[in-house]
Chain A
């Protein structure tokens, strides 16, 4: 290993990376776009459910529950309530008849009409129906024959749910890292296809010097962008060393993937084709974080990016520490070394 040669090759690779206009543009624009996406998305979660009510005589129980996370909007005309539901101003509208309290007193069944938005999830629709039933069961003077004891498993997120803006961070970090795969794989593929690697290898340069320089180029570019992004969005304050190590392992994985793609690709188009396949497969775990429950989670655990994005998500959004995610990091380390070794081996075979 010759540090002078590695430094020279690193400067050359870095220069060539940015001489490719396409790669330079997607690198810089990507960072700008991801920052825009982050700042565009809401950073808070609206926990108050707004329900519209039309009631000539307001039942006392409705006034009582207003302070329990439910916002009640009253309407003087039923037509206005219906319109508010259809325009999405309130998630549901309840119409109480004028004689509701009299009927309850007599033990009769009053009719409560409910307007529900067509876009409302079925679970919320049935929850509202159950909620209204229970509400008037209590209003009628009965006590529910059940006592509920709540125990929160894991960090209690009541009042501090993860906003979409925070949930998207692992996805954006993944995008930043994987973007570098295209650039580095293209550099490797060009070095082989244009036979410049032969010109290097008839100098005192050794094949391992070339691999180290390429690996460093990919690693530094990916890591610096991810760190720059996290510094700008202010997410590097909590556990910076833990995040740095997680990102470093992620960068080793994308460098290994770049070596694999670079060894099979023949030109820029095939780099993009192979890169997109890798991109789609590895993207899944971060989608699972952005939209929890959208994807069956068990099989996702075979993907290395699961451990990368989950670790970032847990540390940044739930305040996890070394103790909580060391297993994730260990698996990530095994994956990163494994993928890098396979990448170097295949690239070496391809060249020879």
Chain B
């Protein structure tokens, strides 16, 4: 087993009755890496996470977390992972401090300060309030805080910013990066391609239970995407129209020259393929 690999997945499959939710997938995640696991709803993202965190048993295949086999040492592994679920599952009749203290005790963590953790996720001043009075964004922050309470070596984040306002989402992304900087490995499940692009060291595309691509965002863009120049030009009748010139072709220099010679250019900028474009190109369908 490679000591630098935090997660090793080999030929993993899972079937719900007749539906093959995860179909023979294999991948690795290095220590300290953020892996974005992308795919549309029902692609198999959450099922993969549930297997890796011990909530489901795989039908076939093996997985190792921190070098330990999940089928044999799950409880030992769970002491060193943190999980933020897609659906909020907090004890809402308890306060944020009580929620964190409960999980700290379950993990056997002694030297922790709930107020410090809550301040870090932006819940300072509301620590003793019942969670049922929190907004969706505040609950999500608490979910994140709970996932960090045992200073985990691997953190599983399932759609951590879904349904949040841009400010809250940005704050949560900042915290994720801080955890990565601390040395944690992060398995980020999302269908927000922009977020995955911004946060992930590598991204994996999963579709119909299979991993269809896995690489760095840059490599995927280079491999599957097209670079172009996009310009707004004023036509003779006064209307503003779009013009697109593909880069990396033999005609590119002459096309660019023609644009500036013959057209009245108003704006011009380079255009890169997004991860969503690449996903559509690979799978033939969108992410929703």
Contacts and interface: CB of A to CB of B under 8 A. Distances in A.
Do A and B make up one complex? yes
A201 B55 contact: yes
Nearest to A201: B55
B137 interface: no
B194 interface: no
Contacts of B93: 16, 19-20
Interface stretch (A106-114, A202-210, A225-233): A202-210
A19 B85 CA distance: 24
Nearest to A20: B93
* Chain B interface residue number, banded: 20 to 34
Q: Determine chain A's interface SS by DSSP, over half rule.
A: helix
A198 B85 contact: yes
Given A8-B106, A12-B102, A202 B91 contact: no
Contacts of A12: 91, 94, 102
A153 B134 CA distance: 68
A211 to B, nearest CB: 15
A311 B200 CA distance: 67
B153 interface: no
Of B76, B78, B91, most A-chain CB atoms within 10 Å: B91
B117 to A, nearest CB: 16
A196 B106 contact: no
Contact of A199 (B79, B81, B83, B150): B83
A198 B85 CA distance: 9
A8 B102 contact: yes
Given A12-B102, A204-B108, A206-B75, A199 B146 contact: yes
A59 to B, nearest CB: 76
B108 A4 contact: yes
Contacts of B199: none
Given A199-B83, A201-B54, A206-B75, A16 B105 contact: no
Nearest to B89: A195
B27 interface: no
Interface string B104-131: 0111100000000000000000000000
Contact of A202 (B54, B92, B98, B102): B54
A129 interface: no
A74 B19 CA distance: 91
A198 B107 contact: no
A194 interface: yes
Given A4-B108, A20-B93, A204 B75 contact: yes
A192 to B, nearest CB: 11
B130 to A, nearest CB: 8
Contact of B55 (A4, A19, A198): A198
A24 to B, nearest CB: 11
B90 interface: yes
Contacts of A16: 91, 93-94
Contacts of A104: none
A15 interface: yes
17 contacts: A5-B106, A9-B106, A12-B91, A20-B93, A195-B87, A198-B55, A198-B85, A199-B83, A199-B103, A201-B54, A203-B78, A203-B79, A203-B150, A204-B75, A204-B76, A204-B79, A205-B106
Interface of B: 53-55, 75-76, 78-79, 81, 83, 85, 87, 89-94, 98, 102-103, 105-108, 146, 150
Given A4-B105, A4-B108, A12-B102, 11 more contacts: A5-B106, A16-B94, A20-B93, A195-B87, A195-B89, A196-B90, A199-B85, A200-B106, A202-B83, A203-B106, A203-B107
Closest 5 CB pairs of A and B: A195-B89, A19-B93, A8-B105, A203-B106, A202-B83
